[in-house]
Amino acid sequence: MKGIPIFPRFPARVIISFLLIILSVASATADTDHGFTYNITATGTQSQTTYPNQAFEWTLTATGTEQWSTYAVLGTQTYGRGGVGEYYYDYMYPPSGSSITSWRYYNSYSTNGGYDAGTYIDTGNNRLAIRIFTGGYRYYYYGPYYYNVSGSFQAMYEISGNTPASGPVSSTSSGTGIVNAMEGNKFIASFTPTVAPQHGGSVTGLTRTIADNNADVNTFISGTDIYAATSFSAQNTVPWCATQSGCEAVRAS
Cα three-residue angle 183-185-191, rounded to 5 degrees: 125
Cα–Cα distance between 231 and 218 in angstroms, integer?
9
Domain ranges within the chain, ordered by starting residue: 50-66+167-236, 69-165
Helix (H) / strand (E) element for 198: namely none
How far is CA 111 from each of CA 114, 118, 216, rounded to the nearest angstrom?
A: 6, 18, 83
85 Rama class: left (phi>0) / alpha (psi -120 to 50) / beta: left
Q: Look up residue 241 and give its amino acid.
A: C
The H-assigned helical ranges of the chain are 12-30
Q: Look up residue 191 and give its amino acid.
A: F
Strands (DSSP E) contained in 84-193 are: 87-92, 99-111, 115-116, 120-122, 127-133, 137-140, 146-149, 151-179, 186-190
The phi, psi pair for 183, rounded to 5°, reads -95, -10
pLDDT in tens, the chain (253 residues): 444 454 455 555 545 554 555 555 455 555 566 676 867 777 877 788 899 999 999 999 999 999 999 999 999 999 999 999 899 999 999 999 999 999 999 999 999 999 999 999 999 999 999 999 999 987 777 767 778 899 999 999 999 999 999 999 999 999 999 999 999 999 999 988 789 899 888 999 999 999 999 999 999 999 999 999 999 998 877 787 878 777 766 565 5
